[in-house]
């Protein structure tokens, strides 16, 4: 659902947030419906079950704190299902996963000035949850 967004980021282009908001809202509706199902029924088709990291990236680009929080909660819900199997520390694993997703997001952007701008904005959006530390 977010292939255009990722493609634009790799070309160093800022995606238009108007259509991105609509795409995010539709994708989040689908994602929430999937997460309500037992994990055995979670499909890997991104048109039915959008990638949680792409939802998170879209929320960062939109710059809406509520969308960021919603996407983090979806990541946590998916992680919780995996933690039941792995018996991991959910809070620590979530922080690491979000941190890795932010790094992957910023690494996707093929424009230094735009990447630096988004790094600052991302830090502001998630600072109350996680520290954004990049080397």
Structural domain spans, the chain: 3-126
pLDDT at 87: 59
The four Cα atoms 123, 102, 48, 27 give a dihedral, to 10 degrees, of 20
pLDDT at 80: 86
Cα separations (Å) of 42 from 6, 10, 25, 33, 48?
A: 23, 29, 19, 10, 9
Q: Which of 51, 47, 58 is nearest to 24 (CA)?
A: 58
Count other C-beta atoms under 10 Å from residue 97's C-beta. Answer: 20
pLDDT at 107: 94
User: What's this model's pTM, rounded to 2 decimal places?
Assistant: 0.87
Instruction: Give, for all 135 residues of the chain, the pLDDT tens digit.
Output: 899 999 999 998 889 999 999 999 999 999 999 999 998 899 999 999 999 999 999 999 999 999 999 999 999 999 888 766 555 677 778 888 898 999 999 999 988 998 999 998 888 888 766 554 444
> What would the two tokens of residue 122 be?
């991302």
Q: Which of 81, 90, 84 is nearest to 37 (CA)?
A: 81
């Amino acid at each position: 659902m977010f292939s255009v967004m990722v493609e634009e980021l790799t070309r160093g282009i800022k995606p238009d947030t108007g259509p991105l908001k609509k795409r995010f809202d539709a994708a989040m509706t689908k994602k929430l419906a999937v997460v309500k199902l037992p994990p055995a029924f979670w499909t890997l088709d991104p048109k039915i079950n959008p990638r949680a990291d792409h939802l998170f990236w879209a929320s960062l680009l939109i710059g809406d704190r509520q969308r960021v929080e919603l996407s983090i909660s979806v990541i946590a819900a998916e992680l919780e299902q995996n933690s039941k199997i792995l018996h991991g520390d959910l809070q620590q694993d979530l922080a690491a996963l979000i941190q890795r997703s932010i790094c992957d997001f910023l690494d996707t952007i093929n424009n230094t000035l735009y990447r630096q701008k988004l790094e600052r904005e991302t830090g502001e959006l998630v600072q109350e949850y996680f520290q954004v530390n990049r080397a």
